[in-house]
Amino acid sequence: MNAPLLLLAFTLGLAVLVAVLRREHVVAWLLAGIGAGLAALLVFAVRLDEAGGIFGIPIKVSGTWTIVGRSLVLGVSNQSAVGLVYLIASFLFAGAYVARPGRLFYAAGLVVVGLVAASLMVVPFLYAAVLLECMAVVAVLILSPPDQPGLRAPMRMVVLYTLGMIALLVAGWQADILGAGAAPAEAARTATALAILGFALLLAVPPFHVWLPSSAGESHPYALAFVILVSQAGALFLVLRFVDAYAWLREDAALFAGARWAAIGIAAFAALWGMAQRSLARTAVYAVLADTAIILLAFSSMSAGGYQLALGLTGARVISLSVWALGASVLRNAGAGDTSEELAGIGYRAPLATATVLVGLFSLAGFPLTAGFPGRWAVMASGGEEALAVVGTLAAISLAAVRWTSTVFRSPREFALPETTTLERFLLGAGILLCLLLGLFPQLLYPWVVNALSGLTGLAGG
Amino acid sequence: MIALGGTASVLVALAAGAACAAAILAARRGVMIAALFIQFVCAALLFSSLPIALVIAYCIVGACVCGILAVTSASTGAAGETRQAGIPSGMWFRLVAVVLVALASMSLARAAIGAGDAAVPGVPIGAGLLMGLGLLQIGLSEEPLRVGSGLMSVIGGFEIGYTTVETAIALHGLIIGIPLLIALVVAYLQVLPAAGSETVR
């Protein structure tokens, strides 16, 4: 038995089963949520390449699956990362009961998670670029559900991921020529430039973010949140593996200085555009871009602590964005709309969903006492331009959130929204509590997420 | 492994470029899909260092892709065409753009790939033409069918160049399979309006 084959076969089998049962919402929801959670648990708990047994039957689970001369490896270097991706998926599937992002969400979501997990396990890791491209193609089914015709944004995402894949494959070829050790900066210039381009495309860094605002205007908020969180987690782990593998990249101080200034530029752009939006979904998308800038700032510190912080911020984003998306989905499903005109006074009609949206948005902004704040506080602690960028984005996105607060509590419009069920109220309330709890006790989240870096010896060692 | 001579490879590369240009200029979807198939075959002939099985597999993928796109276009009743407002779409504009991009991408690709000893003369020309014209097609339209066709051209062009530097069969197998996934997604996006109206009913 080998773990990668078991894991991927289980995920694919579950996806097929969920696709067959897609019209039975509760069954599909339970299968996807519990299945992804179970997969996460197994990945965290499995003892690889060690003799063990179940009910007296001797079993040894190998961590390597060789296929067409290449390997998928699950081991100490990636076990936490793979488990984390499944855990994120399970968490998001749980909220989908209320969000209802479309019939294909669970099945396509499981395939997407399987592909991201495969991208984390594949050796050589450059194959991950091709698997992430496949993931982007499958994600079209999530962003553009069958009941929503003619969306342009998903194809834009596929185009950008294709270009990213090409850039990374060429960068990988150049990197193989240079080798894993130190290399002269002059010789490494082309590979570095191509790697930066590829990662910018995969991480949707401006100006390659165009699919995000378009999707925000068209796709279901929860579907968009799922695709952003899972795809960017995969892309971030690929960045870390790439940097971990090549010393000439890891030790290039100019590259990290460039990343810091790029992050400050992205933060300024996202903060300004975030404040100017009249669409709730687009405000959240620019808040996500601002968050990406903060993650990049943490990454650019060129230290093990900075890489860990980048991962921790990614974990906090999962909570913030999914809580926002949960509330926004409830409002959208009730026919409330997305613009400031349509949402004026909605706070009186759907107070819990509105509160969830606002708490999620404040948390994305990194407002104190929310899940997004502790990571920003740590980035700010280094002082200098980083602190200014963090304070600037925090203030700008918080200001946008305050403006939305004033909009949703403007004099109420005369319309009725459907009553929320007990389970909906429970999940919305749990989302708000989670955001606040992790803001007060970040130690509940960060050690889990940060552990994903432990297998990358080049980075973990500093 | 297919070993084309210098002149033959250049002719195949130019045929691939001409097919890609035809896909951009064609107003009818049927012509565009036929041109796409020619691109697949020409690109496969330029996969200079791949085993013959993968070359044949790429041709089969091309046939499947074009079959899927043709059937979907026919079934959605949109075999005719379709240019979007807001994007320059006049024939002369597209013709000039095709010529300029073809010349620029050929010279760029020859500078980038042509320096390699192993590359036959047609490889940089074919890779450059398909990637450049594919990107042009993506830029000129937002319609899924045309964007998908452009993407497949870009991937085909990239693969022509990439076969000269990367020998891993598994990786090429994965890349060769991507157009099939893209075709399925394009078909899905094309049939969506019908599904949407059904839901409304």
Give A127→chain B minimum CA distance, Å. Answer: 7
Neighbours of A352 (CB within 10 A): 18
Q: Give residue B89's domain range.
A: 6-196
Q: Look at residue A461 in the predicted model and tell me its pLDDT.
A: 64
B123 falls within a domain:
yes
Sheet holding A122-123, edge to edge: A64-67, A70-73, A122-123
Longest C-alpha distance within chain A, in Å? 68
Average pLDDT value over all residues in chain A: 88
Does B185 contact A at CB distance below 8 Å?
Answer: yes
Residue B1 resides in a domain? no
**Would you say residue B3 has pLDDT above 80?**
no
- B196: pLDDT strictly greater than 50: no
Q: Is A140 on the interface with B (CB under 8 A)?
A: yes
The partner residue sitting opposite B189, judged by closest CB among A131, A155, A169, is A155
Local confidence band at B148 (pLDDT 50, 70, 90 cut-offs): very high
Q: Do B142 and A155 touch (CB under 8 A)?
A: yes
Residue of B nearest to A142 (CA): B185
pLDDT computed for residue A249 by the predictor: 84
User: Is residue A61 less than 8 Å (CB to CB) from chain B?
Assistant: no
Q: How many residues does chain A have?
A: 462
Band the pLDDT of B200: cuts 50, 70, 90.
Answer: very low
**What are the pLDDT digits (tens) for A114-123?**
999 999 999 8
Answer whether A142 touches B (CB < 8 Å).
no
Count of domains observed in chain B: 1
CA distance B11 to chain A (A): 26
Quick one: how many helices (H) and strands (E) in chain B? 7, 0
Residue B83: pLDDT band with limits 50, 70, 90: low
Contacts of A37 (CB under 8 A, 6+ apart): A86, A87, A90
ipTM above 0.85, yes or no: yes
Name the residue among B154, B169, B192 with its Cβ closest to that of A162: B154
Cβ neighbors of A283 (< 8 A, separation 6 or more) are: A274, A277, A361, A397, A400, A401, A404
Q: Which residue of A has its CA nearest to B174?
A: A130
A138 contact B CB<8A: yes
CB–CB contact A147 B195 (8 Å): yes
Among the partner-chain residues B155, B170, B185, the one whose CB lies closest to the CB of A140 is B185
Give the A:B interface size as CB pairs under 8 Å.
85
Q: Which amino acid is at B8?
A: A
DSSP character string of B51-116? -HHHHHHHHHHHHHHHHHHHHHHHHTT--S----TTS---HHHHHHHHHHHHHHHHHHHHHHTTTS
Query: Where are the strands (E) in A57-194, listed by range?
Result: 57-60, 64-67, 70-73, 122-123
What residues 305-334 of chain A have any CB closer than 8 A to a CB of chain B? none
Q: What number is the average pLDDT over the span A347-371? A: 92
Interface touch B174/A130, C-beta < 8 Å: yes
Q: What is the pLDDT of residues A44-54, one digit of tens each?
A: 888 777 776 66
Could A141 and B178 be called an inter-chain contact, meaning their C-beta atoms sit closer than 8 Å?
no
